[in-house]
Chain A
Amino acid sequence: MSQKETIVSQQDRNLKWKAFDVLERILMILCGVAIAGFTLGVFLDVVTRSIGHPWLWLQEVTLGFFVYGIFLGASVAVRRNEHVILANTTENLRGASRVLLETFNRLVVLGVALSLLYFGYINFLHGFQSYLMPSMTPIAVLTVILPISGVLISLFTIEQLINGWKKGFHTHSMFEENKSDEEEMTG
C-alpha cells in the first residue's frame, strides 16, 4: 500500500469535482479534531476526577465532539465511498441498467440526506426548548449537526449523480487494493 500524498481520497475521481476537494479536506481535518477532542476530553475527565477536582461540564463537551465527529465522518464517507454496503450489486451491471440502478441508489441516499436536512432542521428548532444537564445549554447546539450533515451528504450525492451521468458510473471494483483497504467496519 503506497503512502497517500494527500488526505483527500483519490478513489473514483471520475465521480468528483476538483472544487469539492477542499470541502473533503476540511471535513477530514474536523474528523481528526473531533476524535482527538473526545480522546482528550475523556482523558481529562479521568485525571480531574482522580485528583478530586472534577470538571462536571466536561462530559457534555466530550459527547459533543463524539456526536459531531460521527455525523461529519458519515458525511465525508459518502464522498470517499467508505460506507458499508450489503451487496455490490451495481458492480456486476453494465450499460443502461447500471446507470439506472446507480441513479436509484443515490436517489435513496439523497432522499435520506434531504430528510436529515429538512426534518433535522425542525428537530433542531425543537431543541431550543430542551436543555443538557447540568449546564442547561439547549440541546440544539448538538442536534444542529443533523441538518448540517444533511447538506453535506446532499452535496456529495448530487456531485456523484451529475458526474456519473456525464462520465459514467464505472469505478474500481470493490476488491481492488486501495478501496477494500478502507472498507472498514466494526469487525
Chain B
Amino acid sequence: ACGGGTSSDPAQTPDAPAPDAGGEAANNGEVRTFSFGYDQPQSTGYGIAGEIFREKLEELSGGKMTIAHYPGAQLGSEPEMLQKVRSGDIDFIISSTANATTVAEQSAVFSLHYIFEDEDHLARALADPEVTQALKDMFSESVTGAQVLSPMTLGLRNMYSKDEIQSVDDLNGKKIRVQATRTEDVHMPAYGAQTVHMAFGEVYTSLQTGVMDIAENGINVYLENKHYEVAPILSITQHAANNSVVWASDKVMESLTEEEREWVQAAADEVGKNQPKKALELEAESLAELEELGVKVVKEVDKSGFMEAAEPIQDQLAAEMGPHAEKILQLVRALR
C-alpha cells in the first residue's frame, strides 16, 4: 500500500540514469545527474521533497541538471549517508534533524517535545526565514564538507500501541521505542515511560511480540511501514516534530558555477516553501487511509500532562546543547 497523494509517478524507468559514474562532468550540453539519497520510500514526504527539488532544478537549468532518487536507504542509514555527503560521495541527501545530531549536536533542539503546538505552528516555524537562517548557521558552524540547503518536515510524531493513550498517565511503566537520542531519553522517563533503543528495522517485530509496548513516528511512516498491523491504535500525541533538512556536499557545490549554485539553492528553497504543506497533506491522507483500514485513532489526547512535564526539560536540554539551540528554541516559541 502506497501512501497515495503524490501527484508524480514514483516508479522509475528501468533505464533510470545513474549518477555520472566516470566523472566526465557535463560541460557541453550533456545532462548532469546528481545522486539524491534518503531513507524512506519514494512515496513519502522525502520523495515529495526530492521531486520538488528535481522539477525546479530541471526547470532552472533548462534540463541540464537533474537528480536520481535513491530512496529506501539504498545508500545507507541517515548517519551513514551524512558521512558520505560530507566526504562528497553522495551529492544530496535528506536527514532528519534527530539523526543530524550525529554530526551537529545542537540539531537535537528540533527534537525537543512540545515546542510546536500543532501542525500550523510547525508550518509557520519552517517558513520563517529567521529560523531557517539560525538553523543553517548552527549546521555550518559544526559541520565541514556539507551544507544545509533547506529545512523540511514529515509532520508531527505520534505514539502507537496496542492500547489507547488518552493522557500522560497511560505511559506509566510502558516500554517505548525511541530513536537513540538524549532528548528522548530525558523526555520519555519524565512521562513515566521506559525508553528502549532499537534499530528501526526491529520495531515491527518487537511491537508484535511485546518486547516493547509503544513506538512513535509520523503517520505516513506508521502507514508505509505497516506498523499498524502490530500496533493497531494510533494516539495523536503530537509530542515532537519530524523535521528534516536537505544537505548538499561541499564537493558538488564547489564544482558548480556561481549561476548553477543559485539554481540549486533556488530548487532547495522551493522544497522549503512547498514541501511542508504537501507533507502535512500526506499526513492527513494517511490518517484517512488508516481509519479506512480499521485502525483506531485517538484524536483527543489530553496533552496538558505531557506539556507540563516537557516545558522545563526544553530549557534545560537547550542550555546543555549550546547557544544556537537556545536561540532556535526562543525563535520557535516566539511564533506560537
- Interface on A for B, CB 8 Å cutoff? 49, 52, 54, 56, 59, 126, 129-134, 136, 139
Q: Are B180 and A126 touching (Cβ within 8 A)?
A: no
Residue among A59, A126, A130 making CB contact with B197, cutoff 8 Å: A59
A108 to B151, CA, bound (A): 46
User: How close is A122's CB to chain B, nearest CB, in angstroms?
Assistant: 9
* Chain B residues in 8 Å Cβ range of A56: 180, 185, 195, 197
Whether B195 pairs with A133 at a CB distance below 8 angstroms is: no
B105, B180, B181, B196 interface centre (most CB from chain A within 10 Å): B180
| Residue B102 at the chain A interface, CB threshold 8 Å | yes
**Does B82 touch A at the CB level, under 8 Å?**
yes
CB distance from B255 to the nearest CB of A (A): 20
| B86 engages A133 (CB within 8 Å) | no
Chain B residues closer than 8 Å to A129, beta-carbon distance? 86, 103, 143-144
Determine how close the nearest CB of chain B comes to the CB of A45; give it in whole angstroms. 9
- Smallest Cβ-Cβ distance to B101: which chain A residue: A133
Bound-state CA distance A134–B185 (Å) is 9
How many B residues touch A, CB cutoff 8 Å?
A: 23
Judging by beta carbons under 8 Å apart, are B196 and A134 in contact?
A: no
Q: How far is the CB of B330 from chain A (nearest CB, A)?
A: 24
* Cα distance, A54 to B143, chains bound together (Å): 32
8 Å CB contact of B102 from A49, A52, A54, A130: A130
| Contact residue among B87, B180, B194 (Cβ-Cβ distance under 8 Å from A134) | B180
- Asked if B179 is an interface residue, CB under 8 A from chain A, the answer is yes
A131 touches B103 (CB 8 A): yes
A-B contacts besides A54-B195, A56-B180, 8 pairs, CB < 8 Å: A54-B194, A56-B185, A130-B83, A131-B103, A133-B79, A133-B102, A133-B179, A133-B182
CB distance from A54 to the nearest CB of B (A): 6
Contact (Cβ within 8 A) A131 B101:
yes
B175 at the binding interface (Cβ < 8 Å):
yes
Are the C-beta atoms of B180 and A49 separated by less than 8 Å? no
Q: Is the CB of A126 within 8 A of B83?
A: yes
What secondary structure prevails in chain A residues at the interface with B? loop
Task: Write out the residue numbers on chain B whose beta carbons fall within 8 Å of the beta carbon of A126.
Answer: 83, 86-87
How distant is B145 from chain A, measured CB to nearest CB, in Å?
Answer: 8
| A–B complex contacts, Cβ < 8 Å, 18 sampled | A52-B194, A54-B194, A56-B180, A56-B185, A56-B197, A126-B83, A129-B143, A130-B82, A131-B101, A133-B101, A133-B102, A133-B179, A133-B182, A134-B180, A134-B181, A136-B105, A136-B182, A139-B102
**Using a CB–CB distance below 8 Å, which chain B residues touch chain A?**
79, 82-83, 86-87, 99, 101-103, 105, 143-144, 173, 175, 179-182, 185, 194-197
Closest to B144 in A: A129
Query: In chain A, what residue has the closest Cβ to B175?
Result: A49
Number of A-B residue pairs at CB separation under 8 A? 48
Closest CB in chain A relative to B240 CB, distance in Å: 15
- Is the beta-carbon distance between B197 and A131 smaller than 8 angstroms? no
CA of A52 to CA of B172, assembled, Å: 12
Residue with the greatest number of chain B CB neighbours at <10 A, chosen from A126, A129, A131, A133: A133
Given contacts A54-B195, A56-B197, contact A133 B180 (CB under 8 A): yes
How far does the Cβ of B223 sit from chain A's closest Cβ, in whole Å?
A: 26
Q: Which residue of A lies closest to B142 (CB)?
A: A129
- Chain B residues with CB below 8 A from A54, complex form: 194-196
Contacts of A134 in B (CB 8 A): 180-182, 185, 197
Contact B182 A130 (CB under 8 A): no
- A52 and chain B: residue at smallest CB distance: B194
Contacts of B83 in A (CB 8 A): 126, 130
Q: B195 near A130 (CB under 8 angstroms)?
A: no
- Chain A residues with CB under 8 A of B103: 129-131
Chain B hits for A59, CB < 8 A: 180, 197
Contact assessment for B185 and A131 in the assembled complex, using a CB-CB cutoff below 8 Å: no
- Note all chain B residues with C-beta closer than 8 A to A130: 79, 82-83, 102-103
| A36 nearest CB across to chain B (Å) | 22
Chain A residue contacts of B144, Cβ below 8 A: 129
Q: Is the CB of B105 within 8 A of A131?
A: yes
CB distance from A137 to the nearest CB of B (A): 11
The answer for the CA separation of A131 and B86 in the assembled complex, in Å, is: 14
Complex contacts, B197 vs chain A, CB 8 Å: 56, 59, 134
- Pick the residue among B87, B143, B175, B181 that contacts A133 (CB under 8 A): B181
Distance to closest chain B CB from A46 (angstroms):
9
CA distance A52 to B105 in the complex (A): 28
Say how far B306's CB is from chain A's closest CB, in angstroms. 21
Q: Contact check: which of B87, B102, B173 meets A131 at CB < 8 Å? A: B102
- Whole-angstrom CA separation of A131 from B78 in the bound complex: 12
Task: Choose among B86, B143, B185, B197 the residue with the greatest number of A CB atoms under 10 Å from its CB.
Answer: B197
B181 / chain A contacts, CB cutoff of 8 Å: 133-134
Q: Which residues of A contact B179 (CB under 8 A)?
A: 133
Shortest C-beta distance, A60 to chain B (Å), equals 8
